[in-house]
Amino acid sequence: MDQTFRKVKPQYTLLSLGDSYTIGEGVLPGKNFPNQTVRLLRGSGLRFQHAKVIAKTGWTASELLAATDIAAISDHYDFITLLIGVNDQYRGGTVETYEPVCRALLEKALHFCGGMPNHVIVISIPDWSKTPFAAASGRDQKQISNEIEAYNKSNRRIANEYAVKYADITNGSNEAAGNRDLLAQDGLHPSEKEYAKWAAAIAQMINATLVTESKQ
């Protein structure tokens, strides 16, 4: 990438909101996708602080929303990622209940980054129906896949409504069905290799945003 036209600040910040997929259940903290994203951006010549992560294994969208209230986030962040919804699906929630909370989270994310939609990235939910964990669970894998698809249609539509960016990692994550190296030891969560693919896509989006803004 031509670095000449990229807008450069002294230092950038990244806030990642989510659940186990964001905190990186099953991998070392430095191998989750927020931290891998920061390393890639640093490698391209940008100064980024360590990623700030607000996420916990098992959180639903409502629990994440409540956590952002408790965290009392006051700092301005340059970029924000949001990946949430798998536990709403896992616990038998509905898309109709998920949608207003997803919107509330996006509104918060926009507030945290100064109302700049190009600086917010919604990430699709991985389809865990393809994992060994799902196969061993006794649950209907086809139903899981259909429900995840419905959640992703919803969060993509909402992302479009708010004009934020959208990273579709779901199709790529399906490769884990035939490649155990892409899963952590628990047979459910992504491995650092899978997170590396997410990080590459997100870093590319952030770089592209900065290049575009520098030309305006």
Q: What is the pTM of this model?
A: 0.94
Q: Is residue 178 part of a domain?
A: yes
Domain annotation covers residue 4: no
Beta-bridge partner residues of 82: 17, 122
- Between CA 95 and CA 86 the distance in angstroms is 11
Ranges in the chain, pLDDT < 70: 1-8, 177
Return d(Cα 162, Cα 155) in angstroms, integer. Answer: 11
187 and 133 Cβ atoms separated by less than 8 Å: yes
pLDDT, tens digit (0-9, with 9 covering 90-100), for 105-123: 999 999 999 999 999 999 9
pLDDT at res. 71: 77
pLDDT above 90: percentage of residues in the chain: 84
What would the 3-class secondary structure string for 48-104 be? ECCCEEEECCCCCHHHHHHHHHHHCCCCCCCEEEEECCHHHHHCCCCHHHHHHHHHH
Distance CA 6, CA 49 (A): 18
Cα–Cα distance for residue pair 157/114, rounded to 1 Å:
22
- 161 in a domain, yes or no? yes
For residue 4, the model assigns a pLDDT of: 42
- Give domain status of residue 7, yes or no: no
For the chain, the domain total comes to 1
What pLDDT does residue 7 have?
Answer: 59
Does residue 104 fall inside a structural domain?
A: yes
Judge whether 2 lies within some domain: no
Dihedral sign for Cα atoms in the order 130, 57, 194, 14:
positive
Residue 9 domain-assigned (yes or no) = no
DSSP E strands: which ranges in 95-187? 120-123, 165-167
Q: Decide if 55 contacts 64 (C-beta within 8 A).
A: yes
How many Cβ atoms sit within 10 Å of the Cβ of residue 182?
A: 21
The CATH number assigned to the domain holding 176 equals: 3.40.50.1110
Question: Could you tell me which residues come within 8 angstroms of residue 152 by beta carbon, excluding any fewer than 6 positions away?
Answer: 124, 125, 168, 170
Under 8 Å between Cβ of 214 and 5: yes
**Alpha carbon distance 117, 132 (integer Å):** 37
* Two structure tokens written together for 157: 């539509």
Q: What is the pLDDT of residues 18-40, one digit of tens each?
A: 999 999 999 999 999 999 999 99
Question: What domain range includes position 204?
Answer: 14-214
- Asked, for residue 192, whether it belongs to a domain, the answer is yes
The CB density around residue 97, as the number of other CB atoms within 10 Å, is 13
